[in-house]
Amino acid sequence: MGSLEETCASLRAQITATEAQLAGLKHDLANAEQAAQSQNATSADPQHESRNGYGRRWPLLQEEYKRYGRQMIVSQVGLKGQLKLRSAKVLLVGAGGLGCPAAQYLAGAGVGTIGLIDGDTVEESNLHRQVLHKTKNVGKYKVDSAIESLRQLNPHPTYIAHRTHLTPEEAPTVFQNYDIILDCTDNPATRYLISDTAVLLGKPLVSASALRTEGQLMVLNNPPRAPGDKAGGPCYRCVFPKPPPADSVVSCADGGILGPVVGTMGVLQALEAIKVITAPDFGGVPDHGSTTRPRDPPSLHIFSAYSSPLVRTIRLRSRRANCAVCSAEATVSLDTIKSGSTDYVFFCGSASSPSLLGPEERISASEYSQKYGTVPSGSAPSHTIIDVRDEAQFGICSLENSINVPISSILSSGNSSAQPHSDNGLQNAELPSWLPSELAAPNSTNPIYVVCRLGNDSQIAVKKMKELGLDQNGKRFIGDIRGGLRSWKQQVDSDWPEY
């Protein structure tokens, strides 16, 4: 038996080393391909000699007339708009659920330069919504995977890969080379950084977000004006002067996301970017002789997949008189951003996992399995296991004999506590609606264990149960499974579904 275990361990180690080597080779190949394509584009691209078509009879290539013809005959675009698109440089911050569809439609529309900045690699969990990535590219940088697909869609644009996460030190340097910015990220700190940098460099910003079945969209700093100029469009800080509480921010990994929802928001970002670029006054220089169409007022568009109507629009106010970035009283500058004195993580707060329970109130997944893994058929349960994930997650997988009580139900019941009576039970009138009646049975000292996905919500539930007096002044154990069901997969059951 020992020899087989050693063989398995050796094979696992070899697989890990091979996968690491393969990831390194993929990285080197991506860099080599990028360098080769850049060299070829400089030496062989017929557009390189004359980006705007000067020296030719027709400003576009014959292939471009065929490719963009149905777009150019739309009156709001025309030939002038198409030439603006070809000259435009657009940066997408994020190559995920928003960035993929946005980049796809911008490339299809013929935007001349498309930059993508993202330091993440492709994971299997991305593929249901991040439509530029392919299964074969799992483990590859997202920006390289996306550009690979974009080149197959349209070889004419110049694609620039920034294989890194956006930082305050580098943001101004990266942004200054582009005309318009698309915020395709999913965390507040980065959103404020993107907006601040865009305002200070005079770049219009198209911002979107999506979670579960809902999304939001805004065009900010449009028209772009210097801080203190009231004619400029509002920025992200004007709309959200204070960030949401750090513990209230839910990611797609925790809250879930419906692919077409984030896809819709990404497509709308591309649409708004095209509208900004093809506007007569894009770049601050009006097109003489053109009919100036009225600029859309600043608005927040709220999309909800299961509502009617699907989209609601809220009119936004102009720039705030006391905005820290775009007002005459601005305190944020490019120097404070690059130096780090504008601390975005501190401003938005830390979303670190809570540590609410002591070691004596927690049990590992392996310890729980060893203690309660085998229950004789027909015997009365010696403990209660509460799963506080939502009903949809509980339906995907659950521990045997566990009871589903969503954390949302627990938190919505208020903070009032109930004290046990002399018979060690609670009166029915005092029971919260979410509490299974058997947990408050008189004289019951069977332990209660709480489990969730990652081991965070379970701690909150344990504290709530103790506030209700269910631990009977310490006579009854109430604790959680440390690390949640993710640790269950790691320590107990390798076949447990990971989602």
**Residues annotated as catalytic (active site), given as ranges:** 252, 452
Was 118 annotated as part of a binding site? Answer: yes
**For residue 164, which amino acid is it?**
T
Was 97 annotated as part of a binding site? Answer: yes
Distance between start and end Cα atoms, the chain: 33
Instruction: List CB contacts of 448: < 8 A, sequence separation 6 or more.
Output: 383, 384, 385, 386, 439, 465, 470, 476, 477, 478, 479
- How many residues belong to the chain? 499
**For residue 345, which amino acid is it?**
V
Was 323 annotated as part of a binding site? Answer: yes
Was 125 annotated as part of a binding site? Answer: yes
Nearest to 256, CA basis, from 212, 203, 314, 315: 212
Was 22 annotated as part of a binding site? Answer: no
Structure tokens at 223: 């028209």
How far apart, in whole angstroms, are the C-alpha atoms of residue 430 and residue 169?
A: 55
Was 126 annotated as part of a binding site? Answer: yes
How far apart, in whole angstroms, are the C-alpha atoms of residue 202 and residue 184?
A: 19
How far apart, in whole angstroms, are the C-alpha atoms of residue 61 and residue 3?
A: 68
Q: How buried is 267 (Cβ within 10 angstroms: 0-12 exposed, 13-18 middle, 19+ buried)?
A: middle
Was 186 annotated as part of a binding site? Answer: yes
The sign of the dihedral angle between the CA atoms of 430, 432, 433, 439 is negative
Was 128 annotated as part of a binding site? Answer: yes
Place of tokens 């993508």: 116
CB 459 within 8 A of CB 437: no
How far apart, in whole angstroms, are the C-alpha atoms of residue 432 and residue 411?
A: 11
**DSSP 3-state assignment of 420?**
coil
CB 209 within 8 A of CB 265: yes
How far apart, in whole angstroms, are the C-alpha atoms of residue 221 and residue 215?
A: 20
Q: What is the DSSP string of 422-439?
A: TTS---GGGS-TTS-GGG
* Binding residue ranges: 97, 118, 125-129, 142, 186-187, 235, 238, 323, 326
Residues placed in the known binding site for ATP: 97, 118, 125-129, 142, 186-187
Q: Which residues are annotated as a binding site for Zn(2+)?
A: 235, 238, 323, 326
